[in-house]
Amino acid sequence: MGNTLLILLMLTLQLPFTRITMDSLLTNAPAAQRPTIYTYGDIRIAESRNGRYVSFIEREYTERQRIELAEKSRYIQSQLQNLYVWNYVLTERHSRGLRIDLRDLKYTYGLDIIVYDLDGNLLAEETSDPPDNVRTNLTAYTEFLNGGDVRIGFIVIPLNITEAEVQAENRRYFSHILPPLLILLLVTLVIGFFGGRHLLRVRQRRAKQQYDERVDALRLEAAQQAGTAATAAWRTMAQQVAHEINNPLTPMKLTLQQLQRIRGTERFDPAFDKAAPMLIEEIDNLSRIATSFSTFAKIPEVRVSEVPIAEKLTASIDLFRHNEAGIPIRYVGPDNGVVVMADAEQIGQVFTNILRNAVQALENVKDGDIIVMLKTASTPNQVEISISDNGPGIPSEIQDKVFKPNFTTKSSGSGLGLAISKNIVEGSGGHITFKTSNKGTTFYIYLTKLQVS
C-alpha cells in the first residue's frame, strides 16, 4: 500500500501531468519497486515490473493494457460520479453503499476497485487475490468527483499481467503473423513473374494514353473556362446555405447539453418547456433553407410580416446563454409587446450571427460580457436593437469590409454571416450599423415599429 499512498500524495499535491519517475518520492524504496508513471488525460497509471521486457510483443501488449485500463478507469470514474452527484464528502457511512456499487462495477469491467477518502483512508474495496507469476503490475489512479466536478476522494484500480498472459500473447502474435508473411512471399514471386511481362505492354500503350489524356485535358479546360461564371455563382450560393445551416447548430447543441446536465432535477421541466419551442423553430428554419436550396437553388427571399421582436430576440439569447466559454449575456428591454415589420423566420438568423460573433470575440477576454438592449429609436416609428461586447474591437483597416461577402478574420467560416444579416435587415425595410473601439463593439439594428392600438 506504500505506492498507493504515495501516488495519492501526488494527486493531492497536483504534480505536473507528465511522464515522470517517482525517485524523488521513493528515495527509501528499493530501485526495483519504483514505478513509472504514465498519464492518459486525468488518469495516471503506475507501472511496476518484475524484470525487463523480454520482447517488443510484451512491450506492446503492456501498452495496450495500459490504454485499456485508462479507458475503463474513465468509465468507472464517470459511473461513480453519476452515482454520487450530490455528495461533497465521503466518510465511513458511505462505505457500505460504496462496496455494493464497487461490486457491480467489478462484475461489469472485471477489475479490482479501491476507494479512498481525501485523507488517504480506505473507504471501500472490491478485490480478488493476486495471481501467481505476475510480470507487470499496473495501477490506475484518478480522482473521485461529484456532479459539480469537485474532488471528494480517490479511485485506485490495480491490474496484474501474468507470465501466462505474456506467453499467450506471444503465441497469438506469431500465429497471426506467419501466414500473412508466407502469403506475401508467394504474392511477391507471382507479381515478379507476371509483372515483367505486363510492363512491356504498359510501355507500348503509354504513348497513346498520354496523347489521349492531353486531348481530354484540353477539352476539360475549355469546358471549365466556359462555365467559370456559373461555377462561381453556385459556389457562393453553396457557401451561403452551408453558413446559414451551420450557424444555429452550436447554440442548439449547448441548449441540449444544458438539458442533459439538469435532467432528473426539478429545473428540467421548466427548462425543457422553454427550450423545446426554440429548438423546434431553429430546426424548422434549417429545414426551410435546405428545402429552398434544393427546390429553387437560392436563399429564400425576405418576406415581411408582423413580428413580436422581443420574443424573437430573447429566444436567440436563450440559445447562447450556456455557451462553452461561460460568457454572460444580459438583456435589457421588454419581454413582449413590441411588434415590428420583418421576416419572421429569418430575423432570428441576424441575432444568431451577431451573438455568435460576440461570443467568439470574447473567448480569450477576461471578464467578458455581452449586453443586448431593445428600445425605441430616436428616429420616429423605429426600434433599436443593440448587441454590445467588451472585446478587443474591430481593427480600423478592416471596418469597411465587415459587411462584404466572403470576408472573415477567423481561420474557419465563409465570411457570409454579416453580409447575409445585412441583406435580411435591409430587405425588411431596416438598416444595420456598428460602432467599435479597443474597449468593445456594438451592432445596431433598426427596424420599423408597428403601432399597436
pLDDT digit string, tens, across residues 281-310: 778 777 766 665 554 444 567 788 889 998
Mean pLDDT, the chain, as a whole number?
A: 79
CB of 137 closer than 8 Å to CB of 51? no
Residue 410's pLDDT is 56
58-93: string of b/e by CB count within 10 Å (b at 16+)? beebbeebbeebbebbbebbeebbeebeebeebeee
Highest mean pLDDT of the ranges 24-33, 177-186, 205-214: 177-186
378 HSE (CA, 13 A, CB side) = 1
Torsion, Cα 437 442 448 452, to 10 degrees, reads -140
* CATH superfamily of the 229-448 domain: Histidine kinase-like ATPase, C-terminal domain (3.30.565.10)
Residue 406's pLDDT is 53
Residue 27's pLDDT is 39
Residue 446's pLDDT is 94
Residue 233's pLDDT is 47
Q: Which one has a higher pLDDT value, 242 or 423? A: 423
Query: How long a stretch of residues is the chain?
Result: 453
Highest mean pLDDT of the ranges 44-48, 157-161, 182-186: 157-161
> Where is average pLDDT lowest: 20-29, 116-125, 355-364?
20-29
Average pLDDT over residues 394-412: 70
pLDDT for residue 15 is more than 60 = no
Average pLDDT over residues 105-133: 90
Residue 158's pLDDT is 92
- Residue whose grid cell is 523480454: 54
pLDDT for residue 236 is more than 90 = no
pLDDT for residue 22 is more than 50 = no
pLDDT for residue 31 is more than 90 = no
39's CB contacts (< 8 A; 6+ apart) are 17, 18, 19, 45
Domain locations in the chain?
Answer: 2-168, 229-448
Confidence of residue 238 (pLDDT cuts 50, 70, 90): low
Residue 391's pLDDT is 87
Confidence of residue 5 (pLDDT cuts 50, 70, 90): very low
Confidence of residue 21 (pLDDT cuts 50, 70, 90): very low
How far apart CA 438 and CA 95 sit, in angstroms, is 57
Residue 384, CA distances (Å) to 112, 118, 260 in order: 64, 55, 35
Residue 54's pLDDT is 62
Render pLDDT for 38-93 as a digit per residue (tens, 0 to 9).
888 888 888 887 777 667 778 888 888 889 999 999 999 999 999 999 988 898 89
Render pLDDT for 324-376 as a digit per residue (tens, 0 to 9).
878 899 999 998 888 999 888 888 889 998 998 888 888 888 888 899 999 98
CB of 332 closer than 8 Å to CB of 371? yes
pLDDT for residue 116 is more than 50 = yes
pLDDT for residue 450 is more than 50 = yes
